[in-house]
Structure 1
Amino acid sequence: MEHTGDRPPRPKPRHTLEGITDAAIAIADAEGLEAVTMQRVAERIGSTKMGLYRYLPGRSDLDAAMLDRALGTPPAIAGPDWRRALTIWAEMMFARVLERPWAVELAQRPHVPGPTELTWYEAGLAPTAELPLTAGERLDVLALLSGHAQSLVRQQAQSAIPEDDLAARIAPLLTANADRYPRTAAAFAEAGREDSRNRAFDFGVQRILAGVAALVSERAPG
């Protein structure tokens, strides 16, 4: 029998998945997601592109690791009010992704969800566990909420007040062509007077959950 007790210990890996993810995120934060390539990440940590594949099977795995870091731990939600719980879930996702808008593109790329992303599924599905919804409908609720949050992150990545900025840009056009676009001109003017612009996130979440509540009510016994 071969004696293995005197074998020298295997060398420790030079890098870690956490360090590789840190390098990729640093590039994305500084230059945008399009600048993140396996070659750039390898250069940043002093490795080779092929060397990264010892730690990551492929680019989609790096994407999942970056997305996990951007999302962070989901909120701990307690209590019987499922609408409040899902509102908090959506608000937290919106806030996390807004900090790193490149996460929107990662979320929409084909990938296998990482462990942190899966905990977001768990946290979001928990409040709906007792509702008269199918499993597919419960997942669709999360898809609607996360999709709404991510679409608005794309807007706010360019401007913190996108509706005000849009109103300012098109004001001269609407003023000069009010007879051609009367409803549009009136809507923008009235929204400004009401101070009801830049509230699309809250409005969308409320309307999504109101629709779910209507469906739950339809299916309630009696």
Structure 2
Amino acid sequence: MSSDFLWTDRPQPTRGPKPALTPQRVADTGIALAVAEGLGALSMQRIAAELGFTKMSLYRYVPGKAELVALMVERAIGAPPAVAPADWRAGLGAWASGMLDRFLAHPWALEATLGPRPIGPNELAWMEAAVSVLVGTGLTGAERFDTVAVIAGHVRMIAQQAAVARPGEAELLDAIGAVIGRHADRFPALAATLADSAEGRDQAFTFGLDRILDGVGLLIARRGGAPAAAGQL
């Protein structure tokens, strides 16, 4: 398992027949399969069959499955959105929203970006974009990394909930409310909370991100930096 494959440009031959395949075509076939059936359906044999080639022929273009999955992540997740370096809060808000959009479009990437794996330039560019807006805030290097990790964890949690097709917050609260309506005397605090929760449902991503950024703003203020206005992405 090596990252070199993701960082080396392969010159196209100028003479002779064009290659029958390209790493990009192999990866795009893997992406289509993962979107349709999940990452568990992915194998070199399956992709070879989809392309009409032998399994061994794929290794001319992709060293192995780990590198293939990494290339799939690079192509599916792509480059990060442009962030505003002068406003750390707006920058991290745009970064988190962009990451959520990519994971919602490619839920298989949630599993693909866990644990040791080859790391490509796009994945590092996402990290660079996030930590860059925290430079100069007074946070230590460890605190900058932890801030990004906490936000990424929040994004992944929301995306994972969507990926497993869990009911929306409104549907879940309605189901709970149907039971609470008959047993309000046993759960008075829950009954009162449900009665007061008609507005603001299905906003877990924005609410959670705002609260994380509020906390980061307080820490930046303690470090002598200038926190952004609370509650504004």
| TM-score range normalised by the length of the shorter chain | 0.7 to 0.9
* SS at structure 2 position matched to 1:191: coil
Matched, 1:83 2:79: no
Kindly tell me: are residues 156 and 56 of structure 1, through their superposed partners in 2, closer, same or farther at Cα, counting changes over 3 Å?
A: same
Q: 2:179 aligns with which of 156, 173, 176?
A: 173
Matched, 1:28 2:34: yes
Offset of 1:162 from its aligned partner?
Answer: 1.4
Matched, 1:216 2:220: yes
Aligned residues: 211
Contact 1:159/1:165 (<8 A) preserved: no
Matched, 1:204 2:208: yes
Offset of 1:107 from its aligned partner?
Answer: 1.8
Kindly tell me: are residues 70 and 180 of structure 1, through their superposed partners in 2, closer, same or farther at Cα, counting changes over 3 Å?
A: farther
Give the whole-Å Cα distance in 2 for the aligned partners of 1:172 and 1:144: 34
User: In structure 2, what is the equivalent of residue 5 of structure 1?
Assistant: none
Offset of 1:126 from its aligned partner?
Answer: 1.2
Give the whole-Å Cα distance in 1 for the aligned partners of 2:200 and 2:165: 17
* SS at structure 2 position matched to 1:18: helix
Q: Which runs of 5+ in 1 are unaligned?
A: 1-8
User: In structure 1, what is the equivalent of residue 48 of structure 2?
Assistant: 42
Structure whose CA Rg is larger:
1
| One-letter amino acid of the counterpart of residue 215, structure 1 | L
User: In structure 1, what is the equivalent of residue 155 of structure 2?
Assistant: 149
Deviation readout 1:45-78 (Å, 9 max, x if unpaired): 1223333233333322122112222212211123
User: In structure 2, what is the equivalent of residue 6 of structure 1?
Assistant: none
Matched, 1:93 2:89: no
Offset of 1:181 from its aligned partner?
Answer: 2.5
Offset of 1:180 from its aligned partner?
Answer: 2.6
* SS at structure 2 position matched to 1:168: helix
Higher relative contact order (CA 8 A, sep 6+): 2
* SS at structure 2 position matched to 1:204: helix
Contact 1:164/1:198 (<8 A) preserved: yes
Offset of 1:12 from its aligned partner?
Answer: 5.2
Query: How do 1:47-196 residues align onto structure 2 when only pairs under 5 Å count?
Result: 47-158=53-164, 162-192=168-198, 195-196=199-200
Offset of 1:19 from its aligned partner?
Answer: 0.5
Give the whole-Å Cα distance in 2 for the aligned partners of 1:147 and 1:91: 13
* SS at structure 2 position matched to 1:108: coil
Q: Which runs of 5+ in 2 are unaligned?
A: 1-14, 226-233
Kindly tell me: are residues 177 and 109 of structure 1, through their superposed partners in 2, closer, same or farther at Cα, counting changes over 3 Å?
A: farther
Contact 1:155/1:162 (<8 A) preserved: no
In the superposition, the TM-score normalised over structure 1's length comes to: 0.85
Contact 1:161/1:198 (<8 A) preserved: no
Over the matched positions of the two proteins, sequence identity in percent amounts to 43
Give the whole-Å Cα distance in 1 for the aligned partners of 2:39 and 2:183: 40
